[in-house]
Amino acid sequence: MYGAQIAFKNFVATKGIWGSSWVGMAHFIRFFESYEFWNIMWNTISLSIYQLLAGFPFPILLALSLNYVMHEKFKKMVQMVTYAPHFISVVVMVGIIFQMLDPRIGLVTLMLKALGFDSVSLLGNADYFQSIYVWSGVWQNVGFSCIIYLAALSGIDPSLHEAAVVDGATKLRRMWHIDLPGILPIAVILLILEVGRMLEIGFEKAFLMQNPLNLQTSEIIDTYVYKVGLASTAVNFSYSSAIGLFKNALNLILLVAVNRFAKKMGQSSLW
């Protein structure tokens, strides 16, 4: 928090934080008025919403499905297969994506050719960037994310299921009337936390997947902050700090708003 004040100063390393001149909201205004502002914000927000809508339900569905698997060996095998990708580093994951989507020898390209389609450079097309980013993330994290829901499902009273089976309830009915209400409090808490970091998409993966052809949709706040703050010839710590502070302020507003909405709806909340 002490260092955050450089967002309101014209920071010079040799002068230090206190010695640098105060410029107020100048860096924020510069970002708001820049020609890149709306494109960067649209890319960040649309990718965040896409990621939330695609990534949030799948761990719940996987946990509900695994909860009803009776064959223990098959259940453990599915858990291992779905958990394992989470432990792959981001750099290796992007390397796998490049190999899979290579327009000459990639597995996806070979499958398309086998089906009679022409090869397509998916990573070179800006329209496909968000889908590749989101669904590769879903594949990598869905298994690990469902652990919390499996733990919540294990805490549901078995007598509720026994009574439902006696009444002739199907598995789908038991999921809807017993399992989902049982995990709803933890699901709401996780949803609030996810919304609270919506704009924290992640620098590494987006930056590694960027290229000049998809930059129109792949340039987000995190990559832009890196480029203007460290990678440019004129390093500007104050400008990049102002952008980062703006992003964190939006995250805080979203967190408080969603938490208050959940509280008004009678659901679990962070406070």
* Sequence ranges of the domains in the chain: 3-8+39-84+137-202+216-264
Dihedral pair phi/psi, residue 219, rounded to 5°: -80, 110
SS3 268: coil
Q: How far apart are CA 209 and CA 204, in angstroms?
A: 9
Q: How far apart are CA 216 and CA 120, in angstroms?
A: 18
pLDDT score for 102: 87
- Look up the pTM and report it: 0.88
CATH number for the domain formed by residue range(s) 3-8+39-84+137-202+216-264: 1.10.3720.10
pLDDT score for 33: 92
DSSP 205: H
Amino acid code (one letter) for 4 = A
SS3 72: helix
pLDDT score for 232: 67
- Contact indicator for 11, 238 with CB cutoff of 8 Å: yes
CA dihedral 255, 140, 67, 169 (to 10 degrees): 70
Q: How far is CA 89 from CA 96, 113, 133, 135, in A?
A: 11, 30, 15, 16
pLDDT string in tens for the chain (271-residue length): 788 888 898 888 788 888 888 898 999 999 999 988 999 999 999 999 999 999 999 999 999 999 988 888 898 899 899 999 999 999 999 999 999 988 888 888 888 888 888 878 888 889 999 999 999 999 999 998 899 999 999 889 889 989 999 988 888 999 999 999 999 989 999 999 899 888 888 789 999 999 998 999 999 999 998 888 777 666 688 888 999 999 999 999 999 999 898 888 877 777 7
